[in-house]
Structure 1
C-alpha cells in the first residue's frame, strides 16, 4: 500500500512538472518559500523553533539514491549583495530520486552564517557586530543546488522576495499631551497606547512594552530631556497596551507635571522598530494642588489660647495648622489637624511671639502651607490692647477717648478692624463689661462668641483700651473623628520618639503642650476605659519628662543618659499601648457596623419597597381626590354666603376655605393627611435602612439611636466583639427597633417643624 501511494505521488509530481522539465535540463528542481513575519536578521531564517524559510528540493532522476549536494545562497538588496563563499565546509545534503526534500531551520544555518558569506555593499565588521542585520529594504533570496563533489550547478534558481522594513513605535493615547489628569482617591490613572506594528505583515513579532514615568523637576523642564536624564519614579514591562496606575504604585503629587514614554521591545532584544521602539514623550499634569487657605485671621482666645480662622473652598476637606515659638532660635514646629476652617492653639506662653501656617487637604492630597504669619500673646498683666492679632502695630492710636455714655444689647462697636454686636453689657461712661458676637466679613460668619471686661469705648463706638476675648468653643462643634484623632497623635509620638532618641532629643519635646493635647483627647465621650487608661499613662510619663527637663541642667552626664533612656522607653511603651487600644476601637466599631447592617436588612424585610410604592399610590389617589374637592368647593363658596354654622379650615397650605362641618372636604383632607403620614413615615425608615450608607452616616445614626438596654455605643461595641451569638442576635433586634423608632421621631419632628 505504501509503495502504491509513493508511486502515485511520484507520478503526480512528474506530470505536474512536465512543462518545466520540457523547458530545462536541470536534474534538480528547487523552490524557496519565505513565511512572514519577515525579519532583517539572517539568524531568524535559520532559527530552530520557527520556519521562516523553507527550501524544497526534488531530484528528477528516479534511479538516483543518496545523491550528495549542497546549496548556494544569494541575497540581493538595494546596493547590497550577500553570496555563499566557494568551498566552505558543510555537510552534504542527501536526496533520492522522485522524493521531495524540505530543508529549514538548522539545515540552513551554515548558509546564513556571516563567515560563510561574501558580502558586498556593507561593512563586514559592522554587519557582524550588529547581529547580522540587514538594512531596511526589499530583498531577493535565491537558492541554487550544487553538486557536492564537482561544485557545479544542478538546479534552477529558486527565488523569493522579502519586504524588510522596521515597524513604527506606539502612539500614546491616554493621557493626551499637555492635558490635566484628574486626581482621584484612591489613585487611579489610566495610561493607554496604540501599537503601530500590527498592521504590517511583520506583526507576529513577540513584542512587549517598557513603560517609563518621570516627574518634571522643575515643572517647566523639557520632557524629552527629563526622560533621558532623570531616574524614573516608575518603570515596568507589560504585554498589554494599557496600564492602570493605581494606589499600589508610587503616589503622584497633585499639581505636579509628569512625562510618560512607552518603548516597544522585541522579546529577544532585536531591533525591529524605528527609533528603537520609543514613542514620543507625553507631558501631563496630575490634578491640581489643593489651594492655600486664604484670609487667615488670628484672635486672642484666652490666657494661653489663640484662635485661627480662615476661608475654605468646597474642595478642602481638612486642614493642618502648624505653629512654633519664633525668635532668633525658633522652636520646632507643632502640628494640629482639623476638619473645620478654624482651630484653637492651646498651651501658649504669655508675652511670647508665635509663627503659624495653615495648609488645606483635598480629596487628592495636601496643598502648600500659607505664608508665615506671627502673633504675640498678651502679657499676663496686659489691660490694654486691640481685639485682633495680625493688625499692624504701627497704626496710629485712637485719639478720641471721650467715653460712650451707655452700651446696650444689639449695639455695634468696633474693636480694631472687627465689628462686635453686643448681646449684653453693664457699665457706663465709657467702661463696659459683657458678652457679644464678633463679625468677620471676610469669613462670612457671625457666631464667634466674645466676652469683655472693663473695656473702654469712645463716642465713635470704637474700643480704645481693654481686651475682648473669644469665648471657648463648645466641644460639640468639633467634628473630628476619634479614631483618626488617636491615629494622628500616635503618628506624632512616633515622630517625637524615633528609634535612638537621645537626651537632647527629649529636651526638644514640649511636655506641657503634649499634656494639653492629651486633655483634649480625653474629652471624647466615646472613649473606652482601656484607651483612657493608655492616655493617662502617656500623660503620667509626660509629667516625668517635664520633671526630667527641669532637672536636666543639674544632672551629671551619666544621670542624663540613664534617666533619658528610661523615660524614652516608658513613653514608647505607653505609646504602643495606646496604639493597641486605638486599633481595638476601630475593630469594635466595624463589628458593630456589621450588626447594624443586619438590623437594617431586618427593617427592610418589614418595610419593603413594594409596600412603599403602594403607599405612594394611595397618597397620589387621595391627593387627586382632595384637589377635586377643593376645586368643587371653591366654585360653590364663591357664590354662597357664609352661615353661622361654619368654621375656617386650612387644607395643608393648598387653600383656605369656609366649610360646613362635617362634609366631604374634611373627609378628603383627613384621608390625604393619613396617607401622607403613612407614606413619609415609611420613607424615612427606609432611608435610615439603606444598604449603601457610608461609615460616617452609620456612625451618625448609631450615635443618635436610643437602643433598649444600652446606654452608650461602647456597651454595644462590647457585645459586637464577643463570641456570644445569642447576645448579638438580641442586639440586632434592639437596633432594628431603635431604627424604626428613630424614623418615627424624625418624621414627627419634621411635622412639628412644619406646623411651627
Structure 2
C-alpha cells in the first residue's frame, strides 16, 4: 500500500476519535448546579394563573454542588412548551436573580418565581395564549440557571411535564327532557345530574339555573340568553330538591328549562379543574302542573226544554272545560260545543220535558303533547229533571265524584213545602262552652268561645256549609242569641264573621 495513503487514513481515524471524545465531553458536562422542578395538584390551567396564584403548587430546588462557602449569584430562566406555543424568558435581563451558597439547597415556589411568569418577561407567546386555557396537550416546564456575571450556563435544562385535558361537563338526568311534572299537593321537584369529569382536584361546585319559557316553542338555549334567570343556587351534591321552601314557586301550566354548570373551587387564585363548554350541561325542559282541580257543578234555571249549568272554580288557573250530558237511561254522552271565552255557566238547549238528565264537566289543566298525556279532572255527575210542559216538579241531585270530598249525595225538590218543626222555647240552656254544638236552622255550629248564661249567649264558632257538592267550613259570630236546652237557636241570628 502507498505509504502516503496509509498516513492519510491514520490521520482521519485519529481526528474522528478526537472529535468523538470532544462530543461526549459536551454531552456529559458536569454542571456545578443542579435544578429539580416538581408540580403538585391542583395543576395550573394557564400561564396567567401561575403568576396570579396565592398558594404554592410548583417548587424548584436549586443546589450548588460546590463546597465553596462563597455566594454565587445566578439567573433562573423558564421555558413552557405546550401544543401550540413555546414560551420562554425573553432574555437574561428578565431572568429571576438567585443567590446560592455551596452545598446549601434553595427551594423556590411559584410564589417566589411569579415575576418570571409575567407576560412582559416572556417571548414566543401571544396575549391570548397567555390568558387562555392551555391546549389539551403535554405541558412541559423547563428551568435553566446562568451565572449572573459571566452569563454562562451553569445547570442542565431540567423539566417537569404534565398532560393537560379538559373535563366533560355533567349531563342532566331528572326531570327528563320534555317531561311533565305534576305536583302531588305541594311543590317538590328533584333535579339530578350525572358528573362526567375524569378528575376534580379541589372539588367541584354545581350551579343550578332555571328559566321560564316565555311562550310555547321558545328555544330553551335562547331562553338562557334572553330570559331572566327564574331561579339559581349552588351545591356540591349531584342533586337538588326544589321544594315548597324555595321561592319563587313554580307556576302551573308553565314550561321551564334548566341546566347545571360545573365549576371548580378556587384554589389559590387559579381554577383547578377546567370543563369543556364552560362547564355547562345540556339543557332540558319540563312542563309543571299543580294538581288538576275539578269544578263543582250546580244547576241554575230549569224549564221544560233547557237547563242552565253553573260551575265553581276552586283555583285561579284558567278554565278549559268540556261539558257533556245525557239522558239518565242513555249510555252515550253528548259533548257540548263550548264558547271561546268560558264564563261560569252555560245553557243546555233542546231538552225533552219531564226527563231526567246527567251532566258532567271535564277540565283539562295541561294539554297532551307528543311526550306526555293530558292532565285532566272530571267533575261530579249532576242529575236534573226538566219540567213538564206545565212547569211542575223539578228535581236536582248532586252525586259525589272522586274529585269531591266530605259531602254526601244531596237531594232537593223545588216547589215542595218544607216541614218546619216547632222549637221548645220554655226550657233555656244554662251554660255554653267551647266545642259544644248548637243548631241554627239547618246548620250546625261548633262553638269556639262563648259568654253569657241563662239561655242568652254571645260568641264565635265554625259552621259547615254545602256548596256545589262540597262542604266548606267558615267562621261565624253571634250576639245575644237565645238557645234552648236542646241546643237549638230560638231567637237571634248567627252571622258569617266577615259580615
Where on the TM-score scale, by shorter chain, does this alignment land: which range? 0.5 to 0.7
Tell me how far apart the structure 1 counterparts of residues 405 and 278 of structure 2 sit (CA, whole Å): 59
Contact 1:262–1:278 at 8 Å: present in 2 too?
yes
Tell me how far apart the structure 1 counterparts of residues 206 and 118 of structure 2 sit (CA, whole Å): 31
- Taking structure 1 as reference, are residues 156 and 449 closer, same or farther at Cα in structure 2, changes over 3 Å only? closer
Decide which of 114, 123, 128 is 2:126's aligned counterpart: 123
Contact 2:189–2:243 at 8 Å: present in 1 too?
yes
Decide which of 254, 276, 279 is 1:277's aligned counterpart: 279
Higher relative contact order (CA 8 A, sep 6+): 2
Q: How does 1:653-692 map to 2 (within 5 A)?
A: none
How far 1:246 sits from its partner (Å)?
Answer: 0.4
Equivalent position of 2:34 in the other structure = 29
How far 1:535 sits from its partner (Å)?
Answer: 9.3
Give the 3-state SS of the residue equivalent to 1:141 in structure 2: strand
Question: 1:578-620: CA deviations, max 9, x gaps?
Answer: 9899xxxxxxxxxxxxxxxxxxxxxxxxxxxxxxxxxxxxxxx
Q: Are 2:358 and 1:440 equivalent residues in the alignment?
A: yes
Tell me how far apart the structure 1 counterparts of residues 76 and 219 of structure 2 sit (CA, whole Å): 55
Tell me how far apart the structure 2 counterparts of residues 418 and 144 of structure 1 sit (CA, whole Å): 108
Equivalent position of 1:639 in the other structure = none
- Taking structure 1 as reference, are residues 75 and 58 closer, same or farther at Cα in structure 2, changes over 3 Å only? same
Equivalent position of 1:174 in the other structure = 174
Q: How does 1:177-192 map to 2 (within 5 A)?
A: 177-192=177-192
Contact 1:169–1:279 at 8 Å: present in 2 too?
yes
Tell me how far apart the structure 2 counterparts of residues 471 and 287 of structure 1 sit (CA, whole Å): 34
Tell me how far apart the structure 2 counterparts of residues 54 and 84 of structure 1 sit (CA, whole Å): 18
Tell me how far apart the structure 2 counterparts of residues 115 and 521 of structure 1 sit (CA, whole Å): 95
Decide which of 233, 241, 244 is 1:244's aligned counterpart: 241
Q: Are 2:390 and 1:465 equivalent residues in the alignment?
A: yes
Equivalent position of 1:680 in the other structure = none
Is the strand fraction higher in 1 or 2? 2
Tell me how far apart the structure 2 counterparts of residues 230 and 279 of structure 1 sit (CA, whole Å): 18
Give the 3-state SS of the residue equivalent to 1:265 in structure 2: strand
Equivalent position of 1:601 in the other structure = none
How far 1:293 sits from its partner (Å)?
Answer: 4.9
Decide which of 88, 92, 99 is 2:93's aligned counterpart: 88
Contact 1:167–1:272 at 8 Å: present in 2 too?
yes
Contact 2:360–2:381 at 8 Å: present in 1 too?
no
How far 1:471 sits from its partner (Å)?
Answer: 6.8
Q: How does 1:60-71 map to 2 (within 5 A)?
A: 60-71=65-76
- Taking structure 1 as reference, are residues 23 and 418 closer, same or farther at Cα in structure 2, changes over 3 Å only? farther
How far 1:533 sits from its partner (Å)?
Answer: 5.2
Contact 2:298–2:382 at 8 Å: present in 1 too?
no
Contact 2:80–2:88 at 8 Å: present in 1 too?
yes
Contact 1:219–1:256 at 8 Å: present in 2 too?
no
Gaps of 5+ in 2: 1-24, 317-339, 362-378, 399-403, 408-439, 452-457, 463-473, 478-485, 488-499
Equivalent position of 1:372 in the other structure = 343
- Taking structure 1 as reference, are residues 321 and 141 closer, same or farther at Cα in structure 2, changes over 3 Å only? closer
How far 1:205 sits from its partner (Å)?
Answer: 4.0
- Taking structure 1 as reference, are residues 127 and 21 closer, same or farther at Cα in structure 2, changes over 3 Å only? closer
Question: 1:138-169: CA deviations, max 9, x gaps?
Answer: 22211001112222210011111122232221
- Taking structure 1 as reference, are residues 239 and 94 closer, same or farther at Cα in structure 2, changes over 3 Å only? same
CA RMSD of aligned residues (A): 4.5
Tell me how far apart the structure 2 counterparts of residues 264 and 167 of structure 1 sit (CA, whole Å): 10
Give the 3-state SS of the residue equivalent to 1:88 in structure 2: helix
Which of 160-169 and 243-252 deviates more?
160-169
Tell me how far apart the structure 2 counterparts of residues 273 and 62 of structure 1 sit (CA, whole Å): 49
Tell me how far apart the structure 1 counterparts of residues 441 and 92 of structure 2 sit (CA, whole Å): 94
- Taking structure 1 as reference, are residues 22 and 534 closer, same or farther at Cα in structure 2, changes over 3 Å only? same
Decide which of 204, 208, 211 is 1:207's aligned counterpart: 204
Give the 3-state SS of the residue equivalent to 1:465 in structure 2: coil
Tell me how far apart the structure 2 counterparts of residues 448 and 170 of structure 1 sit (CA, whole Å): 57
Equivalent position of 2:314 in the other structure = 320
Give the 3-state SS of the residue equivalent to 1:169 in structure 2: strand
Equivalent position of 1:224 in the other structure = 221
- Taking structure 1 as reference, are residues 145 and 293 closer, same or farther at Cα in structure 2, changes over 3 Å only? same
Tell me how far apart the structure 2 counterparts of residues 478 and 204 of structure 1 sit (CA, whole Å): 57
- Taking structure 1 as reference, are residues 235 and 245 closer, same or farther at Cα in structure 2, changes over 3 Å only? same
- Taking structure 1 as reference, are residues 21 and 241 closer, same or farther at Cα in structure 2, changes over 3 Å only? farther
How far 1:55 sits from its partner (Å)?
Answer: 0.9
Gaps of 5+ in 1: 1-19, 311-317, 323-368, 376-389, 396-415, 421-437, 456-462, 481-519, 537-577, 582-710, 713-756
How far 1:204 sits from its partner (Å)?
Answer: 0.6
Alignment TM-score, normalising by the size of structure 2 = 0.60
Equivalent position of 1:298 in the other structure = 299
Give the 3-state SS of the residue equivalent to 1:371 in structure 2: coil
- Taking structure 1 as reference, are residues 101 and 48 closer, same or farther at Cα in structure 2, changes over 3 Å only? farther
Contact 2:75–2:92 at 8 Å: present in 1 too?
no
Contact 1:211–1:235 at 8 Å: present in 2 too?
yes
Q: How does 1:31-70 map to 2 (within 5 A)?
A: 31-45=36-50, 49-70=54-75
Contact 2:61–2:108 at 8 Å: present in 1 too?
yes
Alignment coverage as a number of residue pairs: 357
- Taking structure 1 as reference, are residues 441 and 244 closer, same or farther at Cα in structure 2, changes over 3 Å only? closer
Equivalent position of 1:153 in the other structure = 153
Tell me how far apart the structure 1 counterparts of residues 108 and 315 of structure 2 sit (CA, whole Å): 79
Tell me how far apart the structure 1 counterparts of residues 169 and 43 of structure 2 sit (CA, whole Å): 17
- Taking structure 1 as reference, are residues 265 and 521 closer, same or farther at Cα in structure 2, changes over 3 Å only? farther
Is the helix fraction higher in 1 or 2? 1
